[in-house]
Structure 1
Amino acid sequence: MPLSVRSTRFGEIEVREEDLLEFPEGLPGFPFHRRFFLVGEEGQPIRWLHSAEDGSLALPVADPFLILPTYEAEVCDEDLSPIGPFSPEDLVLLCVLVIPSGDPLSMTANLKAPIVINVKTRKGKQVLVSGDYPIRHPVFGPEARRALAERARGGS
């Protein structure tokens, strides 16, 4: 039987049990929220990691490789033990986005601490990666911001 979640962002959502993701350790800042699900179609550039326990908690997330194609997330295997046994193809990485109200072109992505999901066990964890990645990496570079702003004003 599906779980019904009343989302402040998306209204009433029916979530199948097999679509739930468990975060055994919660997420930083949300340690008591353990069950989440993704809102949005696979392949969309932005999806939402939504709490199954709190209808007001939904984090925008994206594939870090769409934001930075050269991204190399090196994670200690020990850090991933809570999400169960895996092979590399079992893992999906998502980075949390910050979308400033009224200024979506200034959106940033946390590339330092991606969320890793084991698709086999349906468990996830936010981890720190090695490398010099920022917590607030601009999603749109200056040229893209200018072009998108110009288009929004009706230019070509």
Structure 2
Amino acid sequence: MNIDTKYHGTVAVKEEDIIHFPHGLPGFADEKRFVLLPLADTPFVILQSVETPALGFVLIEPFSYFPTYEFELDEATVEQLNIESERDVAVYVILTVADPFHETTANLQAPVVINVHKRLGKQVILTNPPYKTKHRLFPEKVAT
């Protein structure tokens, strides 16, 4: 099927590529079907709504940028996503893209967790973590 997207225009997606978010995303409870679309020649991907073209979130895999980032999923999330092992899981974080770009931040307090085999996803809001909703993606520039 073809879908209209925020960043890629019209793209063809396969039904098996759709990730189901049974409870939607915080603030977007009715948005339950998304696809991941790579952003050309970057480490970023777009979590694009299948239903709403204007709804696309810029994501990154956080561990390359934040090597000590870690959290544990609660049992309810493990069950909701039908996770059987760590190999089932992909983790992303939503970016707030800034201008200038080097001031872009990542929301480490609410990662997007996806069971890549079952195509189920959830944005998990971590309670009492050492993380905030705005962590700078790039370290402060070094003066030259």
Q: Distance in 1 between matches of 2:36 and 2:42?
A: 11
When normalised by structure 2's length, the TM-score is 0.91
The equivalences for 1:24-103 within 5 A come to: 24-40=22-38, 44-100=42-98, 102-103=99-100
Structure 1 residues 58 and 139, CA gap change in structure 2 (3 angstroms): same
Q: Match for 1:113: what amino acid?
A: A
User: SS at the partner of 2:64?
Assistant: helix
Q: Which amino acid aligns with 1:56?
A: A
Unaligned runs of 5+ in 2: none
Q: C-alpha offsets along residues 125-155 of structure 1, whole Å, 9 cap, x if unaligned?
A: 01123530111000011126x68xxxxxxxx
Q: How much does 1:85 deviate?
A: 3.6
The amino acid that maps onto 2:133 is I
Amino acid at match of 1:111: L
Q: For residues 138 and 102 of structure 2, what CA distance do their matches in structure 1 show?
A: 6
Structure having the larger proportion of residues in helix? 1
Query: Aligned-pair distance for 1:67?
Result: 1.6
1:16-27 correspondence to structure 2 within 5 Å: 16-27=14-25
Structure 1 unaligned spans of 5+ = 148-156
Indicate the structure (1 or 2) with the bigger Cα radius of gyration. Answer: 1
Displacement of 1:86 after TM fit? 2.2
Match of 1:124 among 100, 121, 129: 121
CA drift of 1:59 comes to 0.1
Aligned residue type for 2:123: Q
Match of 2:106 in 1: 109
Residue 43 of structure 1: how far off its partner (Å): 9.2
Instruction: Give the whole-Å Cα distance in 2 for the aligned partners of 1:107 and 1:41.
Output: 16
Aligned to 1:134: 132
Distance, in Å, in 1 between the alignment partners of 2:79 and 2:34 is 19
* CA RMSD in angstroms, aligned pairs only: 2.0
Q: Is the 8 A contact 1:75 1:128 kept in 2?
A: no
Percent identity over paired residues: 34
SS state of the match for residue 142, structure 1? coil
TM-score (norm. length: structure 1)? 0.84
> CA offsets, 1:108-141, max 9 Å, x none?
0000110000011100001123530111000011
CA contact (8 A) 2:24 2:30 kept: yes
